[in-house]
Structure 1
């Protein structure tokens, strides 16, 4: 299955992402985060690597780290609440959930005595995000960790520790390379270097990279470099030429060409843009197909957090 690698920008050092959408559908993708989808209204059909599930109001769908998943576009009328978070939040205690099924029905949540804890989690996130009082991020993280621990304990009968759902070795290995790109974007990294990193032939690596990220290797690396360039320009500590070289470009002409390809403007014009963060947020998306933030049927809702 072809799917793209989804990257995410967080609003704070606590890597928890929360949104509520009406009538949202999403194309095949994967990410390193764990994803929880609570169905507030209607229904949602989701296909994962290992199964297809259909949830209705009150159900919770959990997508493990690295699992390719998508919904049946155009066939869902719903209100969905998403909680997507860095697995590191729970990895110090356990690695993933390894659930036998991604779908936790309303009855399963009740049987496992998780309904009130899920309600507390959703309420806490909505309340704390709305008011942003001191330590609000840490409070959300603590409530999320508590729910995950209770899920692991109370729903032990749904957990299959002997056979994890995802092909972890494959995902971990590829993620390791993507992390390598994030750290070493300024170096001269070729397609062959990437293939050697994963011990693959160049042709297969090129195909695998496109399948996993929805982008060619060169375009993805350029996206990282331009993101970094935008951040450097915002700091106003270096000249454009210095930034170009620090981001892996050997000449200013190549840098200007790639910069304009991703942003639509020249670096000198970007320095005068009022809302520069909008450009940074969209760069990585332009390296692959658009996803949730750009869906035409998207409507973001504000809810009070009640289940």
Structure 2
């Protein structure tokens, strides 16, 4: 159940939004544009190498394939909006290969998500944000080093294989790179080991499943790549400071 990464690949009219409370998700990327809107609380958002702290009515406008992560600060109530580049085709073509120097917008009014019920209202809403972005921010060319391109390939492998036996050794074999090189590169780029990231990714996926499915805890653990339920519980508590059952019962 990957709810971020695959969006915007084949769905040309994708526009989906959902709410998350007290949530976090490690660095990832996808073709779809992503908006992170803060309804309440505080949220730390990292986009590329920049870190931002969002407060109520702040919105992060994340571009196609732009690396990002977010973490709750004490408490957060957010709405994620994912949409395909084709919905803002003119903007997408004009700014393809570019990113804003600052991805954060502060909105003067609360977003009425229930009012976005037609293709026209959705496009009007999105283009109004594009207008704010163009008027308030500068744009710079996307720069990707060889190391960044390799990192993207590693993260894509994790996305496709996290529910199975996913190891850095298997990544090295798949990408035809030396294991020591990939291990060092990953730590340099992500400030954590491959295993630490994989566990963070798996637990983040399990958090979503706990709040948005009727699967049992053991089924979720298995679907997220854990064959040992004790290991799942230990990693879950380490990351969230609570048990899976306690997390599922959160208001």
TM class by shorter-chain length? 0.5 to 0.7
- The equivalent of 2:17 in structure 1 is none
Residues 201 and 127 of structure 1: is their aligned pair in 2 closer, same or farther, counting only changes over 3 Å?
same
**Higher relative CO (CA 8 A, sep ≥ 6), structure 1 or 2?**
1
Question: What is residue 238 of structure 2 aligned with on the other side?
Answer: 261
| Matched positions, count | 186
TM-score (norm. length: structure 2):
0.56
Report SS of the residue matched to 2:61. strand
TM-score normalised by structure 1 residue count: 0.47
Larger radius of gyration: 1
CA contact (8 A) 2:210 2:217 kept: yes
What RMSD, in angstroms, separates the aligned Cα atoms of the two structures? Answer: 4.2
Q: Does residue 142 of structure 1 match 2:127?
A: yes
Query: Residue 225 of structure 1 corresponds to which residue in structure 2?
Result: 202
1:27-38 matches, cutoff 5 A: 31=48
Q: Does 1:240 align with 2:241?
A: no
Unaligned runs of 5+ in 1: 20-25, 32-67, 72-80, 104-120, 276-307
Cα deviations by residue, 1:24-51 (Å, 9 ceiling, x for unpaired): xx99x653xxxxxxxxxxxxxxxxxxxx
2:97 matched residue in structure 1: 96
**Distance verdict in 2 for CA 1:132–1:82, change over 3 Å:** closer
Instruction: Give the Cα–Cα distance (whole angstroms) in 1 for the partners of residues 62 and 108 of structure 2.
Output: 18
Q: 2:156 aligns with which of 179, 195, 198?
A: 179
Higher strand share: 2
Question: What pairs with 1:1-307 in structure 2 (closer than 5 Å)?
Answer: 7=27, 15-17=34-36, 31=48, 68-69=49-50, 83-87=60-64, 89=85, 90-97=91-98, 126-127=107-108, 129-130=110-111, 134-135=115-116, 138-146=123-131, 166-167=143-144, 169-272=146-249, 274-275=250-251
Question: CA 1:92–1:185 in 2, change beyond 3 Å: closer, same or farther?
Answer: farther
